[in-house]
Structure 1
Amino acid sequence: MTSNQTTASEIVEPHSDDTEFVFFSGKGGVGKSTVSCATATWLADNDYETLLVTTDPAPNLSDIFGQEIGHEVTEIRDIDNLSAIEIDPDTAAEEYRQETIEPMRQLLDDDQLKTVEEQLNSPCVEEIAAFDNFVDFMDSPAYDVVVFDTAPTGHTIRLMELPSDWNAELDKGGSTCIGPASSMEDKKAQYEQAINTLQNEDRTTFAFVGKPEESSINEIERSASDLGELGIESQFLVINGYLPESVCEDPFFQGKRNDEQAAIERVQTEFDVDAMATYPLQPGEIAGLDLLSDVGSVIYDGDESTVDVGAATDVDIEQSVDVDALANPESVAEQLTPTDDTRYLFFTGKGGVGKSTVAATSATKLAEAGYETLVVTTDPAAHLEDIFGETVGHEPTSVSQSNLDAARIDQEKALEEYREQVLDHVHEMYADKEGSELDAKAAIANVEEELESPCAEEMAALEKFVSYFEKDGYDIVVFDTAPTGHTLRLLELPSDWKGFMDLGSLTKGAAPTKSDQYDEVIETMQDPAQSSFAFVTYPEFTPMMEAYRAAADLQEQVGIETAFVVANYLLPEKYGDNAFFANRRAQQKKYLGETKDRFETPMMLAPLRQDEPVGLDELRAFGDEITGLAELTNKQEVRVS
């Protein structure tokens, strides 16, 4: 790394009279929101008028600052110069629809208005609406700095691609799936300006936050490369949550600290960024102004962190819950195993909670028990290859264990397949019609143009997702889904697209009719006899509350109940015999009890390990420990006999 020649403070502080922008991204659960909040607080304390914006569909700024924020710009209490907003995708979509339709009411008749309204019922309007809010804040002269706490990495890349994609769409003119192009000429100029600003290093800083772990660092490498292809260079890196040396008194935690320090050293030698900062794990959660100030002073002022290893939590250690009593392996095993039909298992949750590892572990144990099993990742930042230690492609392939296949949805290949499917359908529509050659050419040209729209990517991902409900030969299909907010979006899509196509919109009129198929998929996901949804979390306030809110949204919006909860990264009792880990255990036990009370479902308990399980042997051993499926390992012989 050509690092630390520039300080972190020099990178984020404004250098001109124009509003400047700082973007934080990274794998979910790495402390991205904490670092964003600390940065915004530090800038405000240094007399810069600062706005903090989260584009994450599952935001937690309100939790960190201890006050309601929501979709309106809100002043943060007790901090001069700082305001914040949590962009709500549903509210943003409705605002966008009204903003688009209102100027047309005096110009169009009722039928024409209805057509526009149908176009604006397209599910991809939510995506462009959220981005529209994002673009608005890139033209904010009232602020010296705007700090963006963005969605987890894979979706941040998508957000950054949007200005170019939609700009190309509007250049075509005519009708688009986000409304008539003629009504959005002013947006076109904004999108062009957004592209220029994102690529301007004098006005935009892009920073990654990661944990001192190989998987987190590997993802940063991939994401930085993807951003570079968009002309956006990352300049700043924060490695968050390393173990303080003074608390690692036994081989278990000494080994974990050594691994962390090796990962930090790799970053220092291999990454080409202007500056890097590190921040240690604290005995409690980072919330409240004092700890945010500590984070800011360490990262930007070069101060030593205040880690009071004996700091008491607000939890009575003697009165905390009995962890073993919370586990319910038999009930969890019942949710994992199929009956007569294929069972669909969905593992979702805040990024960075070990969701992919738990999904791969469960799939491995189910295959070992004799069930034909497929594990699929829908996460744009897929990690199944790292976990299995084998290639995982777009189509299901064996991962060197009987009964076990794996696949990852490749967005480019999914889009290519969708385009081919739609164009084949158009050709079939005109194949038996005499004298329709000109009509066919016009229709194909129109559809080909529509398939260049960014929303075609969303439809393609949906089509691929739905296709796994049609795979024959599997007893179980395990979905390792994208981080929480985007999982909800994916699960809403069958209903959204069905309603959109039922309107008979020309935009989707060329696609093969899928309405009945989507009905079946929705019903399957809603049927607890066929599908089980599990939220993976770890016992801290923010991931617990995010999982709880997402589970409530899942039930309210899609009609799906949570089957069980996976509590991951539980500190082992036999290691870490000091006040630092006693405090963290007490905190974990408190939130385990609250998780049980809130969800009222069975719980799978997964301990923190010396190393994350990699390869089939380690996954099987981990599965014996956490899934309740160990007694099923002889089931294959029973089924064969």
Structure 2
Amino acid sequence: MFELIQNATRHLFFTGKGGVGKTSMACATAVQLAQSGKRVLLVSTDPASNLDEVLGCRLGHTPTPVDGVDGLDGINIDPQIAAAEYRERMVQPYRGVLPDAAVRSMEEQFSGSCTVEIAAFDEFAKLLGDDTATSDYDHVVFDTAPTGHTLRLLTLPSAWSGFMESSTTGASCLGPLAGLQAQQAIYKKTVAALGNGDQTTLVLVTRPETSAFAEAARSSDELRQLGVLNQRLIVNGVFTASDEGDRVAAAMQKRGDHALEQIPSNLAELPRLSVALSPSGVMGIDRLRQVGRADHEASGANTGSPLNVSPSSTELPGDLSDLVDGIAAKGRGVVLAMGKGGVGKTTVASAVAVALARRGFDVHLSTTDPAAHVAATLASESLERLTVDRIDPAAEVEAYRAEVLATAGENLDANGRALLEEDLRSPCTEEIAVFRAFAQSVAAGTDRFVVLDTAPTGHTILLLDSAMAYHREVSRQGSEVPESVQQLLPRLRDPDFTQVLIVTLPEATPVHEAAKLQEDLVRAGIQPTAWVINQSIAPLETTDPALQRRQSHEQAYIDEVKTLSGGSAALVPWQLQPPTGVDALSKLGQRHHAPLESRS
């Protein structure tokens, strides 16, 4: 990482989807900057932060010296706590004034991802927009950068007060902004600093995988459009086989090489650093000091003595087929595959749908994913008794936007309307817009199996529940709500009708993010059926030293999933060939621990 360290700007933001290693890369950069003699502040507001775990020390909400690294302080801000404090400041004045149903609706409105996003940015702004707050440091390294949605919100006209006062109900994302008026000067300074390439570098962290590159490319474009131009790319987890005779290792290297050859053009033009796969994760100060060093990469994060751990000697969860048997016993209903981006929930949903269809059931497979990966996963192949379509979020959002602008936006001035239009581009708005189409798909589960990839979050379900309750309270017009929407919440909360599969990877961040998802679902009255651990190396037969060490590393997270799921878990092995097409997906649902291609 020498070049990045040598030319580091004062502010460095690391961003990337869950599980790509952005925390490790941020920590490695901060440690190596401090090692070079600089005073460094490392900040994380990642909801699933494992900053303490990576650094090996306990951090808090104020700068705390990092053990073993002179000149390095860290702050581990919990955005959930920040959001809770923010929510209470916003809701408290209305307690005892508005009906209880209205207060509950407001509380849920302030419980979602947009509130966490704004509260996190509020913490960023205190450190980035106020020079006096970090005057003791040469560099400030941020783990998790603000999203494009947050930045757009904060650059809009300051037409807050009148519009905010009329937006205390429903599913708006604007509520979280209501308490930000007083700090607009700091926010403007913060946005300006983000766009100043002499002050700030945005580091996109990704894996050598096609889907991860696509996500990074979208983020890069969106942030460029908002003026964040000084960008760099770290490709983390690049694997080089130590023995080309090992079929698993050779296939893994080939897949990574292919993704790198097909890297999107906007990423290809960025300054790039490749970091070798760390078989056991990048944990501890000593390991962080070595990340990106030429001698470390040459000596090989992918080499070392094999561990005396036999994949078959550890107790692994059952196969996906066991879960499918339990689902099939219901005879009909809805199966939801849920999880963070990049964990393979589309593959799992498609495999479950194919397995049910081959058991003789009528199955409808659908997705709300804007990229429509379901069709690609099936490779456009057909299967008797299986139908496939997609809920088009763009079309649903457009219809929803037109409806809201024609009603709530009818009497707004230009600034108020601009703010409303931005609100309607938020992640929560897309969830709400898709909700009605989703309800129709769920209703079809009364006479067949409906398998849905990318379901609404627990927050969305509660948000709709509270908004509908308030609507009924103040207007008594519940009869106007479509039947499919009226029945949706009871259906989702009925374990005999809806079965939720939480999909994750056997790694720290995906498992911890999935645990938070499970908490969110339980809060919404939905009990997950099972967890699916995807792309596991643990059951494979390999002689590659790095992969053997990786197998041992995975075991702790597999055990954690077994505990979190109450023993209801299945494991899907990493496949030598990408699992696309009906036959390949069928293999994921067969009774075996290793992919069929690896057996002699």
Q: Same fold (TM over 0.5)?
A: yes
Gapped regions of structure 2 (runs ≥ 5):
168-173, 594-600
- The letter for the 2-side match of 1:327 is G
Cα deviation 1:412-462 (Å, max 9, x = unaligned): 433322133446778xxxxxxxxxxxxx97599999677425167424522
Separation in 2, partners of 1:282, 1:192: 39
Q: Could you tell me whether the CA contact under 8 Å between 2:391 and 2:438 is conserved in 1? A: no
Aligned match of 2:277: 281
- The letter for the 2-side match of 1:193 is K
Aligned match of 1:26: 16
Aligned match of 2:242: 246
- Choose from 121, 131, 138 the match for 1:144: 138
Aligned match of 2:535: 569
Separation in 2, partners of 1:589, 1:184: 44
Change over 3 Å in CA distance of 1:400–1:329 after alignment to 2: closer
What number of residue pairs does the alignment pair up? 575
Cα deviation 1:174-231 (Å, max 9, x = unaligned): 6364569997543332332233222222222122222222222233233322322223
- The letter for the 2-side match of 1:147 is V
- Choose from 395, 407, 422 the match for 1:413: 395
Aligned match of 1:51: 41
SS of alignment partner, residue 523 of structure 1: helix
Aligned match of 1:337: 328
Establish whether residue 538 from structure 1 lines up as the match of residue 534 from structure 2: no
Alpha-carbon offset, residue 36 of structure 1: 1.8
Aligned match of 2:212: 216
Separation in 2, partners of 1:70, 1:406: 47
- Choose from 139, 150, 166 the match for 1:159: 150
Cα deviation 1:28-81 (Å, max 9, x = unaligned): 322222212212222232333333333433222233223444655544333333
Alpha-carbon offset, residue 354 of structure 1: 2.0
Change over 3 Å in CA distance of 1:127–1:572 after alignment to 2: closer
Cα deviation 1:357-395 (Å, max 9, x = unaligned): 2122222333444544444445567644543446xxxxx
Alpha-carbon offset, residue 534 of structure 1: 1.8
Establish whether residue 454 from structure 1 lines up as the match of residue 439 from structure 2: no
Establish whether residue 586 from structure 1 lines up as the match of residue 557 from structure 2: no
SS of alignment partner, residue 469 of structure 1: helix
Q: Could you tell me whether the CA contact under 8 Å between 1:29 and 1:350 is conserved in 2? A: no
Change over 3 Å in CA distance of 1:466–1:342 after alignment to 2: farther
Alpha-carbon offset, residue 276 of structure 1: 0.9
Alpha-carbon offset, residue 101 of structure 1: 7.9
Q: Percent identity?
A: 28
Q: Could you tell me whether the CA contact under 8 Å between 1:249 and 1:576 is conserved in 2? A: no
- The letter for the 2-side match of 1:145 is H
- The letter for the 1-side match of 2:401 is R
Aligned match of 2:171: none
- The letter for the 2-side match of 1:342 is G
SS of alignment partner, residue 155 of structure 2: helix
Change over 3 Å in CA distance of 1:331–1:613 after alignment to 2: closer
Aligned match of 1:497: 467
Aligned match of 2:570: 604
Change over 3 Å in CA distance of 1:109–1:22 after alignment to 2: closer
TM-score, normalised with respect to structure 1: 0.75
Q: Could you tell me whether the CA contact under 8 Å between 1:462 and 1:490 is conserved in 2? A: yes
Change over 3 Å in CA distance of 1:191–1:589 after alignment to 2: closer
Q: Could you tell me whether the CA contact under 8 Å between 1:283 and 1:311 is conserved in 2? A: no
Q: Give the alignment of 1:180-259 within 5 angstroms.
A: 184-233=180-229, 235-259=231-255
- The letter for the 2-side match of 1:59 is S
Change over 3 Å in CA distance of 1:216–1:182 after alignment to 2: closer
SS of alignment partner, residue 470 of structure 1: helix
Alpha-carbon offset, residue 529 of structure 1: 0.9
Q: Could you tell me whether the CA contact under 8 Å between 1:568 and 1:605 is conserved in 2? A: yes
Q: Could you tell me whether the CA contact under 8 Å between 2:472 and 2:478 is conserved in 1? A: no
Establish whether residue 321 from structure 1 lines up as the match of residue 314 from structure 2: yes
TM-score, normalised with respect to structure 2: 0.80
SS of alignment partner, residue 526 of structure 2: coil
Separation in 1, partners of 2:66, 2:345: 33
Separation in 1, partners of 2:40, 2:271: 22
Separation in 2, partners of 1:24, 1:196: 18
Aligned match of 1:634: none
Q: Could you tell me whether the CA contact under 8 Å between 2:54 and 2:284 is conserved in 1? A: yes
Alpha-carbon offset, residue 405 of structure 1: 1.8
Separation in 1, partners of 2:589, 2:379: 17
Change over 3 Å in CA distance of 1:113–1:339 after alignment to 2: closer
Gapped regions of structure 1 (runs ≥ 5):
15-19, 391-397, 427-439, 628-641
Higher mean C-alpha deviation, range 24-33 or range 513-522 = 513-522
Separation in 2, partners of 1:510, 1:162: 33
